[in-house]
Structure 1
Amino acid sequence: MSLETIEFTVAGDGRSVSLSRRAHCGVVGSGDLEVLLEPKTADAAVSVRIVTPVKGFDALWKRVVEHFVAETGLSGLSIDINDNNASPAIVALRLRQALAEAQG
């Protein structure tokens, strides 16, 4: 199985909510995914890297992550997602779970 890597950057919305620690949530398994959040100090943008076996859904991935960043106001962050055919609803759930872990 070949994997596709999707990388993009999302600008924050000005609220500048940042994380003080790393977080890991989920496990790469059938229909699931792993999310890693890591604060970065270099700039305020949110760097995103997604590794997935599903090709052709770059625009959907971008919309889901952009919505998450806009909703939370996060900035200065790296998001790594290792996917194994998760639905957009699971992606949103794992992102929120990782954020709760990072803030808790």
Structure 2
Amino acid sequence: METLNFRFEHGQRPLPATAQLSGVVSSGNLEVLIESAVLNGACAIEVRTAARGFGKIWQAVLDDFQQRWQLADTRIAINDMGATPAVVSLRLDQAVQTALGSP
């Protein structure tokens, strides 16, 4: 397992206080836990992944995610079992949409 940590400063969109879980950890998939946290406007993301050596790809996917959502005061935990970048983006978007109460 590899643990990667990312932090994005100066977000614009805080989440409601409830935590949300999206996805299931299984072969080729991942789960995302998203929650509000006092981070001085930042979004902190911790990735635990079985696929070692993909830090640059994670960075690109998470850069794109944060650019779309501009989250502030948000903590995200990702438990990955080899999901593709498209599945990662999908699960992250699902977690945010659920947290914001969007369909």
Task: Say whether the fold is shared (TM-score over 0.5).
Answer: yes
Structure 1 runs of 4+ aligned residues shifted over 3 Å read none
Q: Give the residue type in structure 2 aligned to 1:17.
A: R
1:96 equivalenced with 2:93 (yes/no)? yes
> How big is the alpha-carbon RMSD for the aligned residues of Structure 1 and Structure 2?
1.1
**Contact 1:12/1:69 (8 A) holds in 2:** no
SS at match of 2:13: coil
Asked if 1:81 corresponds to 2:78, the answer is yes
Offset of 1:96 from its aligned partner? 0.6
1:36 aligns with 2:33: yes
Q: Which amino acid aligns with 2:41?
A: A
Q: State the distance in 1 between where 2:58 and 2:81 align.
A: 13
User: Residues 9-48 of structure 1: matches in 2 within 5 Å?
Assistant: 9-12=7-10, 16-20=12-16, 21-48=18-45
Measure how far apart 1:66 and its partner are.
1.4
**What amino acid is the match of 2:37?**
K
The number of equivalent residue pairs is 100
Which TM-score applies when normalising by structure 1? 0.91
- 2:51 alignment counterpart: 54
Of all paired residues, the percent bearing the same amino acid is: 37
Q: What stretches of structure 1 of length at least 5 have no aligned partner?
A: none
Q: Distance in 1 between matches of 2:96 and 2:57?
A: 21
Aligned equivalents of 1:42, 1:48: Cα separation in 2: 12
The answer to whether the Cα contact below 8 Å between 1:12 and 1:70 also exists between their aligned partners in 2 is no
54-63 or 89-98, larger mean C-alpha shift: 54-63
Contact 2:35 2:75 (C-alpha < 8 Å) held by counterparts: yes
Residues 42 and 10 (structure 1 numbering): CA distance in 2 closer, same or farther, change over 3 Å? closer
Q: TM-score, normalised by structure 2?
A: 0.91
